[in-house]
Amino acid sequence: MVTIDRLGVRGDGIAGHGHAAIVVPGALPGEVVEIDPAGEQRALRRIVTPSFDRIAPVCPLFGACGGCATQHVGPDAYAVWKRGLVTEALERARIDTQVRPLIDGHGVGRRRVTLHGRRRDGEALAGFMRARSHDLIAVSACPILSPALLRAPEVARSLTGALAASAKPLTILITATNGGLDVDVRGNGPPSDKQRIGLTSLATQLDLARLSIHGDVIVARRAALQVMGKAQVNVPPGGFLQPTVEGEAELARLACEAVEGARHVADLFAGSGPFALRLAERATVHAVESEAAALAALDRAARATPELRRITVEPRDLFRRPLLPQELKPFDAVVLDPPRAGAEAQCAQLAKSAVPTIAYVSCDVGSFARDAAILLQGGYTLEHVTPVDQFRYSAHVEVVGVFAKPRARKR
């Protein structure tokens, strides 16, 4: 028997420290548990003394499905753990700043889901991967999805059956939009003419807004619109989108508050415009993004929304060609929302700039801490960090960090 000391960064129970630490998936701090005697991760055999923070999972597949890690953790302990992911990452990087309370960005649930499609014994199956494996676990419903995605598993199964001839494992991205379900299928390869005809008919039967294969649109029956501030954006097939409506709104609110009063803002890694289109309600915006389809969607939405101030767009790979200090001179503030890898090259140039305010939105606290250290070395202060929880029951957490350069503010 062992006593669990803490929750690890993946939501597993941890007993001991350092090289002697034992990882026990499903166990909670304070619990005395019986575990398997060997293995990198010790299977939980029996809970001898349960934690007061233990609750019943909301899904019967919890523990088997690899999608969620912490459905068994009570809400107060969960919030402490998730905020702790941020504070611990900053402490490891020796960054001292105010970490605000965790904001719940789950709302009504996820508006997009990635399902896997497989054929097994002649049957089409769709679902998620089992915990710590590459085996498929079929699902008929998922409680963390928004009501608009209730049909998602059924849709994924139907598409898997329709593409059975390819005998390939499929990844099926389904997004809830104002026009209905938007589906992008990956793994099949370019569809044949016969497949296109069949898929067009199936899209009608399933009442899909849009169906594409690897971003190649098979049929668009209705516009796959997402509301971003005052604008409506037809996000490209399979394009990046924040996972929840509430989460996007909270991240945008925090970013807009951070740069309030700025007249000219640069939105870097702008995507389809979740920040630019809201920032433009008060400031002119220069949106920079490498994905041409996303940038085109942003530009179309901006032109169709007369209430906004001017938005200019620039296609540019900020990993290879970050904006230089000279190019950053016109801006009162910068908002950036890079991918999980962070924005190391861009932050190195921002550190040399005189931009007064930076709002950094991140989906990875490790890369955020690394980039924050670069900005701090360049004379910025990190005024505060706010965690936002869009990925309920997972180990992922978003943060918005607000940086200021005092010398620039005095000008």
Task: Tell me if 22 sits within 8 A of 14, measured CB to CB.
Answer: yes
Instruction: Report the catalytic residues.
Output: 363
Among 103, 62, 90, 73, CA closest to 6: 73
Q: How long a stretch of residues is the chain?
A: 411
Task: Tell me if 92 sits within 8 A of 377, measured CB to CB.
Answer: no
Q: Which residues does residue 268 pair with via DSSP β-bridges, in sequence order?
A: 288, 336
Give me the amino acid identity at 336.
L
Which helix (H) or strand (E) is 225 found in, with range?
Answer: strand 225-228
Phi and psi angles of residue 165, each rounded to the nearest 5 degrees, phi first: -60, -30
Give me the amino acid identity at 252.
A
Contacts of residue 364, defined as CB under 8 A and 6 or more positions apart, other chains included, come to 340, 341, 342
pTM of the model: 0.94
Encode pLDDT of 277-335 as tens digits: 999 999 999 999 999 999 999 999 999 999 999 999 999 999 999 999 999 999 999 99
Encode pLDDT of 21-58 as tens digits: 889 999 999 999 999 887 667 888 899 999 999 999 99
Asked whether the predicted pLDDT for residue 339 surpasses 50, the reply is yes
Residue linked to tokens 């991967």:
129
Residue range 390-405: mean pLDDT, rounded: 96
pLDDT band at 408 (very low <50, low <70, confident <90, very high): low
Asked whether the predicted pLDDT for residue 407 surpasses 70, the reply is no
Rounded Cα gap, residues 86 and 366, in angstroms: 9
Per DSSP, the three-state class of 22 is strand
Rounded Cα gap, residues 328 and 319, in angstroms: 16
70 Rama sector, left if φ>0, alpha if ψ -120 to 50, beta otherwise: alpha
Q: Which residues does residue 212 pair with via DSSP β-bridges, in sequence order?
A: 184, 217
User: What sign does the dihedral 309-319-403-409 (CA atoms) show?
Assistant: negative
Rounded Cα gap, residues 402 and 357, in angstroms: 7
Encode pLDDT of 359-395 as tens digits: 999 999 999 999 999 999 999 999 999 999 999 999 9
Encode pLDDT of 178-195 as tens digits: 999 999 999 988 888 999
Show the domains of the chain with their CATH numbers.
2-54 (2.40.50.140), 88-106+244-409 (3.40.50.150), 112-225 (2.40.50.1070)
